Each structure stands twice: as structure tokens, then as C-alpha cells.
Amino acid sequence: MQFYSIEAPEKLVESAFTHARKLPPMKRARNSAVQNRKEKVVRKMEAFHEYLDKQLERMETSVPRFEKLHPFYQELLPETMEVGKIKQAASQIVSVRKLLKRQIVEGKRHMHSPSTDAVAHMHAASAKFFGRSASIVKSLKKNIELLQHANTLMREVPDVKVEMPTLILAGYPNTGKTTLLKRLTGSKAQIAAYPFTTKSLQLGYFTMRYRDVQVMDTPGLLDRDDANYNPIEKKALAALKHLATCVVFVVDPTPNAGYSLQKQHALYERLQKLFPIPFVIVINKCDVSTQEQLDETHNLFGMDAVREGEGIDSGLKDHVWRALGFSR
């Protein structure tokens, strides 16, 4: 996620001059020499103004309208960047475009008046226009720096498909979430950094019956018993809530991962309260579980829990499909 890359004001003014200088030669007019000269200068002024205006417009319109973003980003972005200041910077660009417009209108009016028939006056008038316009643009320096900085931060924001149905993987460490993500999406998960924590997201996608589904693992958030989330983690959770369509809760029926079934069930219950959406419970590592372990897990988590494991085809995607509420 990012917006139009913004040139520093000095650079912008320089490029506008270069652009204005490169104008193709005018076809020969039948006016007097003074009139021809004036026209040439006016054309340069117009080209200069137009270049600046276009660039500034492109910058301004590419700054995201925060209030129109998906709630996932509305939750996340203010943690990373000063949204209010970014909006202000964008509105400064709007004001500057208006000021520049006034410069070109006045500048042209001046150029068309007889007072500039004298070459010295003509040059003074155009120099005034270029000088003023340039310093108006340069007054944006701080604002443009702020937008440039916001843009680098924006590049870090995970490119999550906010409109896509999204499965969130949950469960204690080593229960097999990453393995399951790979199994579901068939590819190496894409790692994206949360911009504001040391934590990262893992994203993968699969398509089923022409529908795309996003699968997301959120290490450090939905894999721990500590419910004391710090303010930033709370934000991350709130953002996830806007995104999640279904939670896939992964249980390890063996004691290998180091968490008792009771502990895993307690985490499941806590997360259920946090996410009022459908849950699919996956009993993973069935290939290395005893019958007793499986029975006990079903007793705790219910008979609907899906059995998964290496070499086992549980039809997990079908379960997920139903949980997502899609019909066939």
C-alpha cells in the first residue's frame, strides 16, 4: 500500500522548468516581434504551471482517504503514522494549487497588458511569476517531507486482501499452524510485517470453486494464554476482527507441543469470546496420536472437530467452505 512517490519541492520546480524549456517551437505567427516573444514567454509560463499543477494533483489525490479505507486499515494506520497531519499536508497541497492558479492568471493578465511591451518589463513580469510560483511550491517542503515519510511507512503495511473471505489460524505454538497454512494454500506463506509491532503476519491464498480465500497466521497474538494484550496488540486484534470470516483453531492432541488439552481448550474458549464468528476446530497430528488422545480431544472439543495430520485427507477445505457459509 503506498501513494504516488513525491518529489522534493526544489526538484519539482526544477523539473517544471525543464519541462517548460522543452516546449516545441511555435509555428510562426504573423504578429509583431514583441507579440511573438510575449506569446512564447506566456506559453512557457503555462507549461510551467501546468506541470506543477498536474504533479501536485497526482500527489494529493493519491493520498489515501483514511475515512474511506477498510476498517482493518483504519484500525492499523493511525498506530503507524500521524493520520491527522497527513490529511493536513494533503489539504495544504490543495491550497497551494489554488495559489498557483492565481499566479498564472495574474501573470498572464500582466503579460497581455501593454505595459510589458517593453522587453525589460516583460522579463520582469515573467520572472516575478516564476519566482513567486517557485517559492509557493517550496513552502510545501515540510508537508512533502511528511508525506514522503508516510509513504515509506505505508510500504510496510501488509497488503492484506480486505475484501476476501479470511481464515485466521489460531492455537498454541507447535500445534502445526504454519504447516497447515502451507497445506491449505500449497505454497510458501508470504511474510508481512505488522508495521507497529515486532510481530509479523503470514499470508496465503487458495481458490475453491472459483472463490478466493485468504489464510492468515498471526504469530504472537492468537497463540498464547496471556490475555493481557498491550495497547498495540489490542489494536492488532481489533484490526483482525474486521478481517476474519472464520477462525481455524488448531489442537495438538499429543503432549508433544507442551500444552495440555485443558489448556488448549481454555485458549479456544477465550478466543471464541474475542471472535464472535464461526470456528473450525482442527485436531492436528492425528498421524502420531493415540486413539485415547483422539477420544479425549473429541470429548473436549466436540465431535465436529476435523481430524488432520500428515497423509490424512480430512476434506478440511470443505469444512471451511461450510463454515464460511458458502453454498456449493
Ligand X SMILES: Nc1nc2c(ncn2[C@@H]2O[C@H](COP(=O)(O)OP(=O)(O)O)[C@@H](O)[C@H]2O)c(=O)[nH]1
Query: Could you say which residues in the range 20-49 bind ligand X, by CB under 6 A?
Result: none
Q: Is 108 helix (H, G, I), strand (E, B) or coil?
A: helix
In the window 156-215, what residues touch ligand X (CB under 6 A)? 173-179
Which residue in the set 29, 71, 288, 315 belongs to the binding site for ligand X (CB under 6 A)?
288
In total, the chain counts a number of residues equal to 328
Any contact of residue 200 with Mg ion (CB under 5 A)? no
Cα dist. 161→78, 158, 166, 174 in Å?
19, 9, 9, 27
| Cβ neighbours of residue 226 closer than 8 Å, sequence gap 6 or more | none
- The C-alpha cell of 103 is what? 499566479
Q: Which stretch binds ligand X (CB under 6 A): 58-66, 120-128, 283-291, 315-323?
A: 283-291
Measure the CA–CA gap between 138 and 107, rounded to whole angstroms: 19
Question: Rounded to whole angstroms, how far apart are CA atoms 151 and 218?
Answer: 25
DSSP code string of 189-248: PEEEE-TTSS-EEEEEEEEETTEEEEEEE-TTTSS-S-----HHHHHHHHHHHHH-SEEE
Which one of Mg ion, ligand X, none interacts with residue 285, CB within 5 to 8 A by kind? Answer: ligand X
Q: Which is closer to ligand X, CB of 74 or CB of 314? A: 314
C-alpha distances in Å from residue 37, one per residue of 46, 121, 209, 223:
14, 12, 68, 74
Measured distance CA(86)–CA(93) in Å, rounded: 11
Rounded to a whole number of angstroms, the minimum distance from the CB of residue 310 to ligand X is 4
Contacts of 77 (CB under 8 A, 6+ apart): 66, 69, 83, 157
Interface of this chain with Mg ion, residues 161 to 190, rule: CB under 5 A? 177-178
* Cα(301)–Cα(97) distance, integer angstroms: 62
Among 10, 287, 295, 304, binds ligand X (CB under 6 A): 287
Sheet with 306-307, strands from edge to edge, namely 190-193, 200-208, 211-217, 166-170, 246-251, 279-283, 306-307
Q: Which residue is nearest to ligand X (CB)?
A: 176
For position 2 contacting Mg ion by CB under 5 A, the verdict is: no
| Site size for ligand X (CB under 6 A) | 13
| Residue number with CB closer to ligand X (75 or 223) | 223
Query: Out of 44, 49, 285, 319, which residue is the one contacting ligand X (CB under 6 A)?
Result: 285
- Per-residue x/- mask for ligand X, residues 289 to 328, rule CB under 6 A? --------------------xx------------------
Partner from ligand X, Mg ion, none contacting 284, C-beta within 5 to 8 A by type: ligand X
- Position among 214, 284, 293, 297 found at the interface with ligand X (CB under 6 A): 284
The count of residues interacting with Mg ion (CB under 5 A) is 2
Nearer to Mg ion, 220 or 278 (CB): 220
Footprint of Mg ion (CB under 5 A)? 177-178
Interface residues with ligand X (CB under 6 A) are 173-179, 284-285, 287-288, 309-310
